[in-house]
Structure 1
Amino acid sequence: MLRHKMYNSLSHLHTFLSCLQSSNVVKLLTHLKLLARRQLKMSLLHLAAYWWHPMLNGQIAWAETHRLTTLKLNSHILQESIAKQINESPDAGWEAAINPRFSNYTVQQFKRLLGVKPTPRKELRSTPAVSHPKALKLPKDFDARTAWSQCSTIGRILDQGHCGSCWAFGAVESLSDRFCIHFEVNVSLSVNDLLACCGFLCGSGCDGGYPLYAWRYLAHHGVVTEECDPYFDQIGCSHPGCEPAYRTPKCVKKCVNGNQLWKKSKHYSVNAYRVNSDPHDIMAEVYKNGPVEVAFTVYEDFAHYKSGVYKHVTGEELGGHAVKLIGWGTTDDGDDYWLLANQWNREWGDDGYFKIRRGTNECGIEDDVTAGLPSTKNLAREVTDMDADAAASF
C-alpha cells in the first residue's frame, strides 16, 4: 500500500517535471494540487527548478503586470493626491483642481482623447521646417484674440467629445483663424469633414491621427464649412464619462443643408509645413500668419490643470495631444509661457485655455509645430456669388 502511494506520488512528480519542461501552466498547477494533497514535500532542488524556469516566471510576471495595468486604467484620472501635491509644491507654478470635465473619467477613458500619433522620423526629415529672421522684432506679450479681434473663431473653445480627434481640431481651427486673418473671411471650417474623410491618409479617425498629414489633406482636398458638415457630437462631454467611446463618423460628402454643394463649400490650405522648434520662429509664425497647431506629451497631472503656467510635476505619461497655440507672454514672476486653446470645453482649465512653459520645450511642446497658409481657391467664386445675391435683392 505504501509502495503504491509512493509510486503515485513519484508518478505525479514525473508529470509535474514534464509540465515544467513543456511550459504547460494549466497541467502544472493541476499536478501541484495533487502533490499537495499527498503532502509530498517539494525538495529545495524542485523549488529551485520552479523559480528558475524562465517561461513560468515570465508568465507570472506578465499576469501581475497586466493586473496592475488594468487596475490603473480603471482608476479615476482625477486624484485628490495629485492636486494636493501640486498645490502644496512651491515650485509647481500652477494650480490644480478636480475639473468637472473629467469628474467621472477613468485613466483609460482619458487616454482615448489623446489622439496624436508621432510623426514618422522620415517625414520629419523630408519636410522642411520654416524659420523666420532673427531681426524680426516681436512683442513681449501677444494674444491672437486681441490682435485680430474681428476674427470670432480665434476665441472659440470647442469640445472634441469622447473622440481622439484633437489632431483634426488643431489643424482645422488654426486654418479657420488664418482665413479671417489673411482674407477677412469669418468662416468656421468642418472638423468633421477632416475627421471622417481623411481616412488612413491622416491616421485612424477617432483613434488618432497625424497633424502634419492633416495639413497635407487640407492642402490637397480641403474641408467644407461647419455649416455644411457639423461635428458629429453636438452634446460634448457635459454628460458623465461620455461613454461609450465614439466611433469615427462616416464620410458622407453631402451638406446637411440640401441647398449647399459639397465641393462649392470646400476651403483649402496652400501648403503644409513644419515650424522650426526655436521659440523665436514659433512666435514669429504666429505673429505674422496666425495660430498654429502644436502637439505635446500629456501626463496625468495635466488633467488637473486649472490656472498658472503648467509644467509636468507628477504622474505617468499617457499619450500625445494636439491644440491651437494663440500667443505667449511672461508672468510677473518672470516665467515665460505659451498661451493655448484646448478643445475640452470651458469647464476644463482656465475657461478652456492653458499656459505652458516657453523656451524649455516642456513636454515636447516646441518639437511638433505645424501650419499652412489659407488658399484663395473657391474664395473668388464665393465672393462672386455673394455679389450676385446682393444684386438680385435690388
Structure 2
Amino acid sequence: MGFSFMPFTIFILAFSSPSSFFNIAGAETQPQHLSSSILNSPILKESIAKEINENPEAGWEAAINPRFSNFTVAQFKRLLGVKKSSRKELTSTPVITHPKSLKLPKNFDARTAWSQCSTIGRILDQGHCGSCWAFGAVESLQDRFCIHFDVNVTLSVNDLLACCGFLCGMGCDGGEPLYAWRYLSHHGVVSEECDPYFDQIGCAHPGCEPSYPTPKCVKKCVSGNQLWRKSKHYSVRAYKVKSNPYDIMAEVYKNGPVEVAFTVYEDFAHYKSGVYKHITGVALGGHAVKLIGWGTSDDGEDYWLLANQWNRSWGDDGYFKIKRGTNECGIEADITAGLPSSKNLIREVTDMDANSDVSF
C-alpha cells in the first residue's frame, strides 16, 4: 500500500465524563477494591471459561491460556499499567479528525497493507512489568517509521520505561500513554539493539515479588560501538484521535498503528479467539496495546484487530479482536499517537538527565 499524507483537522479535546477511567460513563468500569483472598486466587478460572463458552451470545472462545497459568489475580493486575491522565492535560492535547471523503475498506490489516514492515507483525512480552503503556507507544512509533520513511527499526521500550521517570508515571507500576508519546517527541527513544528490554525471562527467580522493579536509566548502549544520542528516534507532537470509529480507522489507514487504552476485566485473561466483549468478572485496570486494523466476522460482528504484548501463547497467536463501534471496554475512547520525525535521522540531541523530571 502506498503512503500519502492526508489533511486532518486538529481541535482541543473536551471530555464529558471526567470520573471514568477511560472516559467511560459508569463507576462499574473502575478497577474495584478486591479482598486478599481474591487477589491471591488464580486469574484463570475454569468457571469463567465455561460460562463464556456456553454462552451462545458471547461471540468469542475462552481458554486457560498458558501465559497466565501460574498467575494470581494480583500478578495479572500488575500488567495493567495504564494510569489516567489529568483532565488539564487531556483538554490541552490536540485531537485529530480525518476528512469524511476518505473511502475506507471494510477490512484492513496493517500487516498486509505494509507487508515490507516486519515490526508490525511482532508479538512481544512485557514480562511481569506493568509497562504496557510504553510498549503500545514504542511499537506504534517503530511501525510508523517504516510506513512513512521506509526505515525498518526496532525501538527500545526499555529507554522509555526507565528514563521517562515520574513524568510518565511509575515505570513497572504503570504510566500514561500521553506522556509516553510526549517523551518520544521531546527526548526520543534509542534502538532496541542499543537498550534491550530488561525482562527477558520473566519473574521466575526468588525475590522478584511482590513486583518487578523498574530498570535504571543507564543512557549507554550495551554495544560499545554505538552512541546513545545517535541511536535516538523521535516522534512529532503527541496527539489524540477523535473517539469515533471512522476517525480511528482513517488514522490507522493513512498513518499506521496507534496506541489504545481500555479497561480489562477478569474474563479478558481467558480470551482465545473470536470478537471479544465483556461477559463476566470485575474490572481490574487499564491496559494499552497496539491497534493494527479492523474487519467484520463471519457472524456479522464488526471488530478491531489488536496486537497484545503477552507473547504468542496468549489469545489468538498474541492478537485479539474486540467489538467495534460501541466503545467496548472504552476501546474507542483513548487513542494516542504521533507521526515519526525526521530530526532523529539528521541531527544529534542532548541527553536528558536521567534523574531529573522531564518538562514538556
TM-score by length of 1: 0.78
Q: 2:342 aligns with which of 354, 376, 393?
A: 376
Q: Give me the whole-angstrom Cα distance separating, in 1, the residues matched to 2:110 and 2:340.
A: 17
Q: Distance in 2 between matches of 1:296 and 1:239?
A: 31
How far apart, in 1, do the equivalents of 2:266 and 2:106 lie?
A: 31
Q: Give, in whole Å, the separation in 1 of the partners of 2:331 and 2:312.
A: 22
Residue 88 of structure 2 corresponds to which residue in structure 1?
Answer: 122
Amino acid of the structure 2 residue aligned with 1:325: L
Residue 245 of structure 1 deviates from its aligned partner by: 2.3
Q: Distance in 1 between the 2:321 and 2:61 partners?
A: 11
Cα deviation for residue 243 of structure 1 reads 4.9
Does the 8 A contact of 1:131 with 1:275 survive in 2? yes
How do 1:4-153 and structure 2 match up within 5 A? 69-153=35-119
CA distance in 2, matches of 1:358, 1:132: 18
Counterpart in the other structure of 2:243 = 277
Distance 1:271 1:147 in 2: 25
Change (3 A) 1:252 1:289: same
Shift in Å, 1:237: 6.7
Matched AA of 1:112: R
Q: What is the distance in 1 between the residues matched to 2:147 and 2:215?
A: 30
Tell me the SS of whatever aligns to 1:339.
strand
RMSD over equivalenced CA pairs, Å: 1.9
How far apart, CA to CA, are the structure 2 residues paired with 1:330 and 1:312? 18
| Residue type of the alignment partner of 1:152 | S
Equivalent residue number for residue 308 of structure 2: 342
Give the aligned residue type for 1:97: A
Alpha-carbon shift at residue 279 of structure 1 (Å): 0.4
* Letter of the structure 2 residue corresponding to residue 251 of structure 1: C
Greater displacement, 263-272 / 120-129:
120-129
Distance 1:182 1:220, change over 3 A: same
CA contact (8 A) 1:297 1:319 kept: yes
Give the superposition deviation at 1:236. 3.9
State the shift of 1:244 in Å. Answer: 5.3
Distance 1:233 1:102, change over 3 A: same
Bigger relative CO (Cα 8 Å, ≥ 6 apart): 2
Percent pairwise identity:
84
Give the drift of 1:201. Answer: 1.2
> AA paired with 2:333?
D
Contact map agreement 2:203 2:212 (CA 8 A) in 1:
no
Give, in angstroms, the shift of residue 378 of structure 1.
2.9
Aligned to 2:196: 230
Q: Which amino acid aligns with 1:267?
A: H
How far off is 1:233 after superposition?
Answer: 1.0
| Compared CA separation, residues 239 and 82, structure 1 to 2 (3 A) | farther
Secondary structure at 2:185 match in 1 = helix
Q: Deviations over 1:286-339 (max 9, x none)?
A: 000000000000000000000000000000000000000000000111100000
Deviation at 1:123, TM superposition (A): 1.6
Counterpart for residue 159 of structure 1: 125
**Contact 2:159 2:189 (8 Å CA) reproduced:** yes
Matched letter for residue 124 of structure 1: L
The equivalent of 2:23 in structure 1 is none
Of 148, 154, 179, 1:213 maps to 179
Deviations 1:97-142 (A, max 9, x none): 0000000111000000000001212222111211001111000000
Partner of 1:31 in structure 2?
none
Deviations 1:149-196 (A, max 9, x none): 110100000000000000000000000000000000000000000000
Q: Using a 3 Å threshold, how does the CA distance of structure 1 residues 237 and 132 change in structure 2: closer, same or farther?
A: farther
- Check conservation: 1:159, 1:237, Cα contact below 8 A: no
AA paired with 1:117? K
| Structure 1, 318-327 or 119-128: larger mean CA deviation | 119-128
Q: 1:77·1:106 contact (CA, 8 Å) conserved in 2?
A: yes
CA distance in 1 between partners of 2:38 and 2:346 (Å): 54
> By how many angstroms is 1:239 displaced?
8.7
**Unpaired runs of 5+ in structure 2?**
1-31, 349-360
**C-alpha separation in 1, matches of 2:62 and 2:143:** 30
- Higher Rg of the two aligned structures: 1
SS at match of 1:249: coil
In the TM superposition, 1:298-317 aligns within 5 A as 298-317=264-283
Instruction: Say whether residues 1:194 and 2:194 are aligned partners.
Output: no
Question: How many angstroms apart in 1 are the aligned matches of 2:101 and 2:347?
Answer: 39
Q: Deviations over 1:55-106 (max 9, x none)?
A: xxxxxxxxxx99x701110111000000000000010000000000000111
Of 312, 318, 326, the match for 1:360: 326
Report the equivalent of 1:388: none
Q: Deviations over 1:181-231 (max 9, x none)?
A: 000000000000000000011000000000001000000000000000000
Give the TM-score, by structure 2 length: 0.85
- Which amino acid in the other structure matches residue 309 of structure 1? V
Structure 2 match to 1:264:
230
